[in-house]
A = this chain, B = another copy of it.
Amino acid sequence: MKVLRDRILSDGTSLEGVILKVDRFINHQMDPYLMKQVAIEFIRRFSDLHVNKILTVEASGIAPSIMLGYLMELPVVFAKKRHPSTMKEAYIATVHSFTKQSDTQLIISREYLTPDDHVLFIDDFLAYGNAGKAIIELCQQAGATVEGMGFIIEKEMLHGRELLQSLGITRIESLAIVDSLENNEIHIKEDQ
Contact = CB atoms under 8 A, between A and B. Distances in A.
A30 interface: yes
Interface stretch (A67-75, A126-134, A149-157, A183-191): A67-75
**Copies of this chain in the oligomer:** 2
A21 B84 CA distance: 11
Nearest to A73: B33
A25 to B, nearest CB: 8
B29 A77 contact: yes
Contacts of A111: 23-24, 29
Interface stretch (A1-9, A58-66, A140-148, A161-169): A58-66
Interface residues of A, number: 37
Contact of A30 (B29, B66, B87): B66
Nearest to A33: B70
Contacts of A28: 77-78, 80, 84, 87, 108-109, 112
A68 B108 CA distance: 26
Interface string A105-146: 000110110000000000000000000000000000000000
Interface of A: 15, 19, 21, 23-24, 28-33, 35-36, 58-59, 62-63, 66-67, 69-70, 73-78, 80, 84-87, 100, 108-109, 111-112
Given A24-B111, A24-B112, A59-B62, 18 more contacts: A19-B86, A23-B84, A28-B80, A28-B109, A29-B75, A29-B76, A29-B112, A30-B78, A32-B66, A32-B70, A32-B75, A33-B73, A35-B66, A35-B70, A62-B62, A62-B66, A63-B66, A67-B70
